[in-house]
Amino acid sequence: MSYCLNPACAQPKNPDQVEVCQTCGSKMLMRDRYLGMKSLGQGGFGMTFLAADQGLPGHPLCVIKQLRPSSNDPQVFQMAKELFEREAETLGKIGNHPQVPRLLDYFEYNHDFYLVQEYVKGLNLQQEIKRNGPIIEAGVRQFLSEILPMIQYIHESKVIHRDIKPANLIRREQDKKLVLIDFGAVKNQVNPQSAANSSDQTALTSFAIGTPGFAPPEQMALRPVFASDIYAIGVTCIYLLTGKSPKDLDYDQRTGEMLWRKDVDISDNFANVLKKMLEVSVRHRYQNATEVLNALDMEPYMDDLAKSLVTAPNNNNNSTNGNGLPSSIDDLPESANMSATERLALRLREKRARRQGGTGKSRMGGAASYGHQETKPATRATPSRLPDSASGNPANRRKAPSRLDAETVLNSYVKGRRDFAQQNLSQLQLMEANLEGSIFHQSKPRKVNLQKANLAGTDFGRASLAGANLRDANLGRAYLAGADLEGADLRGADLSHANLSQANLKGANLCGANLSNAKIGEDQLAVAKTNWSTVLPHGRRGFW
């Protein structure tokens, strides 16, 4: 079955092999190249079609987006053409990113405008949530780790998407990566009255203002900024956690703020990150993707930072404590080239370096880095206390991380606790435990026994899991980036869709493990143990 690409055709479906539409008489091959397969959607701007490119070997599928002005007014037609060309220019500029569809062609045909884009096969996030239900905190963290670097790239190209929402994020079937579609500059039809009564700039910017509920106030007022996309990502996070669209949530009638906290079960620190993404006032919101990435990078440490940096003032009324450090976050020195987040990051890295007996330098040998970078965790030395010479004051010594026993962990989980970040869980016996969706970020579960445990969607980012027994455990969609898994027993474990980027897998036993669609590098697999029954990331079984 083929499909007539004439948008005015009353009966576009045709038998295969016909050259002319049996209903309207249009040529079935648009520009002697594109053969329509079906309609993908219709809106005020025109239609979107799935088509086969007959001009290339194998006739690959592509998406054809049509812009059809709703008026014959020459001024309206000219503005539509400018919008179309701007859309094509934008896609041409950013389409080299692997998570943005490539622009393949654009042209004018029978007084309509057409964009031809790469076809992305897969379900969008809206379809995923409707099919499988809301996801847990660890899943949303992984979503942010995927989309924020992409948005950072788009913003660096001086492009504001303006319509980020679950329906515009497709999980590509081929590699399970998120792809952002619909760059929307031509999504809405030109309003002739607005064109007649407004300046050219107002008329042009009145398109693609976004989807109500996902677009922040400044964008609906036709003044979008980069932070507008950050707000839309925040609303998308709430949708992923609740399964509710923005219209189904409550709002503060005075401020317009979305009231979502009662509808989600997440840690307080992660809630604070989302809250700042969703600030109604753009000046109080994260300004770009980098700031959100920095906040997420630091978020597991925030409670510890608050305790260590906020101290009682001394008798001399100066702003430093016995170590020469500021006695509160507010006392941190201002720097023309450092944001508040960066200053906190610097203080955190200094504090961690002192704990390890260092000098404030990063483990890479240079000055401390403020960017969002995954670094391989230390695998051995973790002194429980600072030596007296390092602390300078016994009162300032750092105590060892609190140690939980297995019964406390299990009972706390049953009562609703999910955050076990930075806890000492070494050698605990947690066989067959259900800890799905828990947060073990930077925890120390060395040699822990989690055989056959349900750990789906858990956050083990930068955790020390050396020698752990994870045999036959369910770690599907788990976040293990930067974790130390040296010598861990992962035989038969389900690691499908897990994020293992920069994890230390030296000597880890992956025989019989399911790594389908896992985020893992060839160099990592090369130092791990695999066998004929290991399911590799591409889905095939065998040795690496």
Could you tell me if residue 34 is inside a domain? Answer: yes
pLDDT computed for residue 400 by the predictor = 47
Picking from 493, 487, 454, the residue whose alpha carbon sits closest to that of residue 470 is 493
- Helices 226-242 & 289-298 angle (0-180, nearest 10): 50
The residue among 266, 299, 332 that closes a domain is 299
pLDDT computed for residue 88 by the predictor = 80
| pLDDT digit string, tens, across residues 333-387 | 444 344 445 555 555 555 555 554 544 333 333 322 222 333 333 333 333 333 3
Q: For residues 439 and 462, is the Cβ–Cβ distance under 8 A?
A: no
Q: For residues 420 and 442, is the Cβ–Cβ distance under 8 A?
A: no
pLDDT computed for residue 349 by the predictor = 56
The residue among 249, 264, 299 that closes a domain is 299
Dihedral angle computed from the Cα positions of residues 455, 458, 463 and 467, in that order, rounded to the nearest 10 degrees: 10
Give the total number of structural domains in the chain. Answer: 3
pLDDT computed for residue 322 by the predictor = 39
Q: How many CB atoms lie within 10 A of CB 50?
A: 15
Could you tell me if residue 344 is inside a domain? Answer: no
The mean pLDDT of the chain is 78
User: Is a pLDDT exceeding 90 seen at residue 302?
Assistant: no
pLDDT computed for residue 120 by the predictor = 94
If asked whether residues 263 and 240 sit together in one domain, one would say yes
Confidence of residue 199 (pLDDT cuts 50, 70, 90): very low
- Taking each continuous run of H as one helix and of E as one strand, the counts in the chain are 14, 13
If asked whether residues 187 and 262 sit together in one domain, one would say yes
Indicate the SS3 state at residue 410.
Answer: helix
Q: What is the CATH number of the domain that holds 467?
A: 2.160.20.80
| pLDDT digit string, tens, across residues 139-166 | 899 899 999 999 999 998 888 888 899 9
If asked whether residues 158 and 243 sit together in one domain, one would say yes
- Amino acid 521 reads G
Euclidean distance between CA atoms 472 and 447, whole angstroms? 16
Could you tell me if residue 349 is inside a domain? Answer: no
If asked whether residues 464 and 525 sit together in one domain, one would say yes
If asked whether residues 63 and 22 sit together in one domain, one would say yes
User: Is a pLDDT exceeding 60 seen at residue 313?
Assistant: no
Could you tell me if residue 353 is inside a domain? Answer: no
If asked whether residues 212 and 158 sit together in one domain, one would say yes
Could you tell me if residue 14 is inside a domain? Answer: yes
If asked whether residues 102 and 155 sit together in one domain, one would say no
Residue ranges making up the domain that contains 84: 2-118
Could you tell me if residue 159 is inside a domain? Answer: yes
Could you tell me if residue 306 is inside a domain? Answer: no
182-208 b/e with 16+ CB inside 10 Å = b? bbbbbbbbbbbeebeeeeeeebbeebb
If asked whether residues 16 and 97 sit together in one domain, one would say yes
Q: What is the CATH number of the domain that holds 203?
A: 1.10.510.10
Of the ranges 176-185, 274-283, 323-332, the best mean pLDDT one:
274-283
If asked whether residues 106 and 173 sit together in one domain, one would say no
pLDDT computed for residue 43 by the predictor = 62
| Alpha helix ranges (H) inside 157-267 | 192-197, 200-205, 217-220, 226-242
User: Is a pLDDT exceeding 60 seen at residue 108?
Assistant: yes
Residues 6+ positions from 162 with CB-CB distance below 8 Å: 184, 208, 209, 210, 215, 219, 224, 228, 229
pLDDT computed for residue 243 by the predictor = 95
Q: Which two tokens mark 98?
A: 């692997």
Catalytic positions are 163
Could you tell me if residue 390 is inside a domain? Answer: no
Euclidean distance between CA atoms 486 and 465, whole angstroms? 7
Give the least confident one: 269-273, 364-368, 534-538. 364-368
What is the gyration radius of the CA atoms in the chain, in angstroms?
A: 27
Q: What is the CATH number of the domain that holds 38?
A: 3.30.200.20
Mean pLDDT of 506-517: 92
User: Is a pLDDT exceeding 90 seen at residue 283?
Assistant: yes
User: Is a pLDDT exceeding 60 seen at residue 318?
Assistant: no
What 26-29 contacts at long range (C-beta under 8 Å, 24+ apart), as own/partner pairs, is: 28/2, 28/4, 29/54
Q: What is the pTM of this model?
A: 0.57
pLDDT computed for residue 170 by the predictor = 96
If asked whether residues 184 and 36 sit together in one domain, one would say no
32 burial type by CB count under 10 A (0-12 exposed, 13-18 middle, 19+ buried) = exposed
Q: 328 or 529: which carries more pLDDT confidence?
A: 529
pLDDT computed for residue 8 by the predictor = 84
pLDDT computed for residue 402 by the predictor = 57
Mean pLDDT of 239-245: 95
- Helices 302-309 & 268-277 angle (0-180, nearest 10): 100
Q: Which helix (H) or strand (E) holds 51?
A: strand 46-53
Mean pLDDT of 250-268: 91
The residue among 299, 333, 349 that closes a domain is 299
User: Is a pLDDT exceeding 80 seen at residue 316?
Assistant: no
pLDDT computed for residue 533 by the predictor = 87
If asked whether residues 85 and 207 sit together in one domain, one would say no
If asked whether residues 434 and 544 sit together in one domain, one would say yes
